[in-house]
Amino acid sequence: MNDERIIAIITLNGNCNYGNRFQNYALQQVLLNYSNHVETLLISKDSKYISTSRANFPSLLSKAKRYPLLVVIRKSWAVFWYSCIGRQTLKKQSSLRKKSFVIFSQTYIKEVDLGISAQSIPDNLHAKYDFFVVGSDQVWNPTFPEFSELYFLTFAPKHKRVAYAPSFGLNKLPEELKKDFAVWIAGIKYLSVREESGARIIRNLTGRDVPVLLDPTMLLTKEDWEEISTPVIDVPKRPYILTYFLGALDSARNKDIKMFAKKHGMKLVRINDINSKYYSTGPSEFISLIDKASLVLTDSFHGTVFSILFEKPFLAYKRDGRDNMYSRIETLFSLLNLQNRHNMSLSDINLWKINYSEVNKLLQIERNKAFDYLSACLIPSK
């Protein structure tokens, strides 16, 4: 390791998403194997963006063609609930939640603000760091408001550009963006992606075959994550099911989960549910809740990741109207021979059976592959 080498991480910043904070922290910890100086650069937004929960009805309905009718109805109800009923509740809960995320970031992630934005990049930025590592979140998703050329590191010399498992978040790119993407990607010397769909996109754009690597959260062990875990005081004393859904939970699925919990005498701990006391749970507490859970039900990639890391029985649901989001879970299942988890239900007799001895062997192979890639990028050849 070269102690003098300085590495910068460029990723999506924020204090509201567990996966975002976890992947940023994990990538930092992994890169500290190659340098004592690793910093995450804060990227300023050039304008204010309106989140989905605050969207108005005309805006929502204009996107109706992208979603099934049932999803549009659910989203419309969410907007109505927020506008007429839950504004104060959501404001209070969101404030508590954001505070816990900010504390996590300030405690565990070295972030620096150099006044960088998509439209304003300091002239000497490229000279401050030996490498710029972009990833591993959906930094290349063109539907995100933060998306810009910045996330392809075009401001830096090519030999300083490293992509560690970034995601497109889409199975295919809009036709009008393919030319730009081809140019931007061609300029990255060290290139990898997080999903098979991303590797196909790059192959079709550039003819280049690139490795599919683990999300950095999986490069850390259960023991690594336990070091930053914080116990939850009011965790249920009896076995509980942890639910972590980013998409809408339809009434039929919700009913099934409640009936299953009652049948097995288990409590329900709901993360990301505004009506749950666990909504304001911070990242460190999230780890503890996963650790103590008897079963995890989620439509989240990182919910799935932490279930695997902590060797939990789990179900990974497809999110309504967001099939593209499931591709990263499909890739993960393929790598770890967990394909039987696809389309599994609560009534499946194999729900509780996962051969984690075999999973961990495959996981270590993928970890070694990722470490070899980073060594080739960050350790100069003699």
What residue spans define the domains of the chain? 6-48+99-219+364-378, 229-356
Q: What is d(CA 242, CA 270) in angstroms, rounded to the nearest whole number?
A: 6
pLDDT band at 79 (very low <50, low <70, confident <90, very high): low
* pLDDT over threshold 80, residue 3: no
Q: What is the CATH number of domain 6-48+99-219+364-378?
A: 3.40.50
Condensed to tens digits (0 to 9), the pLDDT of residues 330-352 reads 989 999 999 999 889 999 999 99
Q: Which residue has the higher pLDDT, 325 or 239?
A: 239
User: What's residue 59's pLDDT?
Assistant: 41
Full 3-state SS string of 167-228: CCCCCCCCHHHHHHHHHHHHCCCECCECCHHHHHHHHHHHCCCCCECCCHHHHCCHHHHHCC
Contact between 79 and 56 under an 8 Å Cβ cutoff? The reply is yes
Tell me the pairing of strands 240-244 and 161-163: unpaired
pLDDT of residue 342: 87
In this structure, of 52-56, 104-108, 215-219, 326-330, the range with the lowest mean pLDDT score is 52-56
- 295: which strand partners? 241
Assign a CATH topology to domain 229-356. Answer: Rossmann fold (3.40.50)
**Do the two domains 6-48+99-219+364-378 and 229-356 of this chain adopt the same fold?**
yes
| Count of CA atoms in the C-beta half-sphere (13 A) of 328 | 25
CA distance linking residue 363 with residue 321, whole number of Å: 30
pLDDT at 326: 81
Mean pLDDT (the chain, rounded): 89
CA–CA distance, 245 with 249 (Å, rounded to integer): 7
CA angle 190-196-198, nearest 5°? Answer: 55
Per-residue model confidence (pLDDT) at position 139 = 96
Q: Give the mean pLDDT of 298-312.
A: 96
Residue 248 in this model has a pLDDT that exceeds 90 = no
pTM of the model: 0.88
**Sign of dihedral through CA atoms 201, 206, 212, 215?**
negative
